[in-house]
Structure 1
Amino acid sequence: MKVLFLDQPAGVGYSTGELNDDNVEMVAEDVYYFLRSFFASDEGSAYAGSPLYLAGESYAGHYTPAIAHRILNDGVGGNGGGGADMNLVGVAIGNGFFSAAIQWKWYAPMAYQFKDAYGVEVLTKEEYNVMTEGAEVCVELAEDCNEDAAKCEPISNSTCWGPTFFGVFGDQNRSVYDMTQQCTAANSCVDSPNIEEFLNLNSTKRALHVPLDEVWTECSREVNRRWSERDFLASTMPYLEEVLGSNLPVLLYAGDYDYICNYLGVLAVARALDWEHAADFDAAEDHDWEDGRGEARSAGKLSFLRIYRAGHMVPTDQPVSSLKMIDQFLAGKPF
């Protein structure tokens, strides 16, 4: 098994190229041609036609389904399973952001029930009511944008990406990525200092053939500034439905301490997917996974997995559970 990590879109991490991508379709096109070039290269040709899994987390709920869609609609001598040099066989996405219109509905319930589940009060009843009321406006904004791109109002001009959903977190200095954590000078709740330190070591740069004067940063404000509001509000669920319709396995997993792409919202997305076994998945019972490591639900080729005691970055918080999960998925075993 070989793992290939991509910094994308262009301009983030150590990736290079013109900073002209502003939606996932453009990213998918870039990744598609990168993969074709890699599998045609001296080093990559040995893996051409090998089983290809796509995996990612967070906004990969947008990126990964779009990339899968592009591969499945290859158009260069494709074979229905991913193209001449790409044998797409599965997709896994952790704490993904797929649909604002659906997932925004679950911010208030997730934050409010956290006290009963974990003993940490994030929202009072009054704050819950205010957030629920505000969510209705935000969901309508997302639905209008999906229906007509001309109706896409900038999130920056609304309260959705600020006071409505995140005001209480700022007031409490609480992490939106792990609701059990407070944000401090040592724990910024945004950056991953250990990753940033490792990727900026000269030894790491030499191994990656990166110029020593390049600086790796976790977030690119320039790329974020250019990004399309339409893309942020758009749903990528049709792409997931296409993957399932191609009879390929899809794993959606989520750490249950996360707020920003919480497990309630991800499960709601999974239950709203329109595909052959949608009714079976909706009726399926949640069941224990790996003796208390999580809770699973499966039907057909779709699996949802809630990982206990993990935040937005599940492998960081629960590495053993993550390894068991990915081994099980790659082995094709049911959850």
Structure 2
Amino acid sequence: MATSAFFIWMFLLSLASSTQLYGWIDINPFKFVKEELSRERPSHAFASYDFDKYSTAEYSAVNISPQEGQKEKDKIESLPGQPPEVEFDQYSGYVTVDHEAGRALFYYFVQAAVNSSSKPLVLWLNGGPGCSSFGAGALMELGPFRVNKDGKTLCHNEYAWNKDANIIFLESPAGVGFSYSNTTSDYKLSGDYRSAQDSYTFLVNWLERFPEYKSREFFIAGESYAGHYIPQLAHAILQNSKNTNQTRINLRGIAMGNAYIDFETTIQGAVDFYWTHALMSDEIYHGLTSNCDFTLLNSSDKVCLKLINEALDAAGNIYSYDIYAPSCNSSLKFHSVSAFDPCSENYIKRYLNIPQVQRALHANVTSLPHPWESCSREINRNWKDKQLTVLPIIQQLMARGIRIWIYSGDTDGALPVTCSRYAINKLGTPVKTVWYPWYTQDEVGGYAVGFENLTFVTVRGAGHFVPSYQPARALVVFSSFINGVLPPPA
């Protein structure tokens, strides 16, 4: 496939949104596409599924550093501005994944609020690539706290996922959030493969630091480009467990929300979503589907570029992460359309750049290339390898008995629900439980279908960041996933 097709797809995902929250921040998408089409990239930047690299590679033992006393040093006494009556332990700090380069990944860990010694361990990853799992995942979505509008204080998240699990939020790769490298060239060398290996190295060392979790059931969850991170890391865990004598991680399942999984079905899903949600005219839709071969598209394809430009103008300035919600700079009150405040990123950024907060988190800010930010554009622009599909990895995980869940908020225009459905259909997995509505709080929370070794769930009224838009419904999905049961029917 031509590499330029990927950027046309990225444009379609973000039609007309110049104020997105996490992603292509403050860049006009059409201008962005034109720039990306003209940029030279290495031949390996986009590749078909690399079976040798991700499936049969012999993994060597990772370097395990001494961890004595590190857990105690990482314990957070209290976060500035946190609400009273916090009844769970919090930790944060660094795990060095490459001592020669000085590459260290930052984590934030919250124990389960009740019975933490018997609850499973979960790793949460946000995507981008290059966006913070701490800022987005912990402080905007599923963590125990949310940042108030003052950017200085925190409030309880009633629907925090640490009700059901002990959760690690990992900022990865180095250069994202508080994670860093002493070798600055590392920031231009990140990619799918290195991220999987660094995350695995992090986990092995983290479990040495917190040995009580070594035998605990382990799950990985995340969203967006974590649709790559998660299956690739899961596969690395299984391969390393088979090929080394180091810690065997008790991986039981993975869950991916509004995830980028497969290139071809993502293009098809995005175009169909925009048309069926009245964000694209019939003429443009039929023009795109009749005239554009997205697997061959290049910057000289003037017909398709003209149609995409027309789609940009026709869609207008919508917020692609939730097509029915206002953007942060909207004059509307956020709660008039959505319960989620689209300016939350601004509050989080202010909070995490307060020196007192950084000290409480044990953040090594002197080693960072810049103040804390939600996403690293440098990491994103210099990403070295993107697999066009991870479906073969997912198939292998299914064959190994790993629990696979894919869930989608149904108002997300960045990676729409149609992308997930088309990718799952491509797997050709038999249906065990037919499509049905599931319920919570006496309302339809979404829809679910159980496949052989795979579950697909929609979350009604949720945008890209599902736990932000529909926290109660998202918690039901997470609890069901952890417990290995389908969401509750009527």
- Normalized against structure 1, the TM-score is what? 0.81
Aligned-pair distance for 1:204? 3.1
Match of 2:346 among 178, 193, 196: 193
Aligned-pair distance for 1:20? 4.8
Partner of 1:26: 194
Q: Which has the larger displacement, 46-55 or 308-317?
A: 46-55
Match of 2:401 among 247, 251, 271: 247
Partner of 1:218: 374
For residues 239 and 158 of structure 1, the distance between their equivalents in structure 2, rounded to whole angstroms, comes to: 33
8 Å Cα contact 1:94-1:252 kept in structure 2: yes
8 Å Cα contact 1:68-1:239 kept in structure 2: no
Number of residue pairs the alignment of both structures matches: 303
Aligned-pair distance for 1:109? 1.5
Partner of 1:88: 251
8 Å Cα contact 2:279-2:315 kept in structure 1: no
Partner of 2:321: 177
Q: Which runs of 5+ in 1 are unaligned?
A: 115-120, 142-152
When the two chains are superposed, the root-mean-square deviation of aligned CA atoms in Å is: 3.0
Partner of 2:458: 306
Match of 1:326 among 475, 478, 485: 478
Partner of 1:105: 268
More strand by share: 2
Q: Is 1:126 equivalent to 2:280 in the alignment? A: no
For residues 305 and 236 of structure 2, the distance between their equivalents in structure 1, rounded to whole angstroms, comes to: 29
Aligned-pair distance for 1:196? 2.1
For residues 260 and 448 of structure 2, the distance between their equivalents in structure 1, rounded to whole angstroms, comes to: 19
For residues 325 and 32 of structure 1, the distance between their equivalents in structure 2, rounded to whole angstroms, comes to: 26
Partner of 2:221: 55
For residues 220 and 109 of structure 1, the distance between their equivalents in structure 2, rounded to whole angstroms, comes to: 30
8 Å Cα contact 2:408-2:416 kept in structure 1: yes
For residues 238 and 179 of structure 1, the distance between their equivalents in structure 2, rounded to whole angstroms, comes to: 31
More helix by share: 1
Partner of 1:206: 359
For residues 328 and 410 of structure 2, the distance between their equivalents in structure 1, rounded to whole angstroms, comes to: 22
Distance 1:162 1:33, change over 3 A: farther
Aligned-pair distance for 1:207? 2.8
For residues 261 and 378 of structure 2, the distance between their equivalents in structure 1, rounded to whole angstroms, comes to: 23
Largest Rg, 1 or 2: 2
- Cα deviation, 1:242-263, whole Å, max 9, x if unaligned, reads 1111111111001011112111
- Cα deviation, 1:147-202, whole Å, max 9, x if unaligned, reads xxxxxx7xx88899997399527851112211113546359979822332333233
Aligned-pair distance for 1:329? 0.9
State the identity %: 26
4+ aligned runs moved over 6 Å, structure 1? 156-163, 187-191
8 Å Cα contact 2:409-2:417 kept in structure 1: yes
8 Å Cα contact 2:448-2:486 kept in structure 1: no
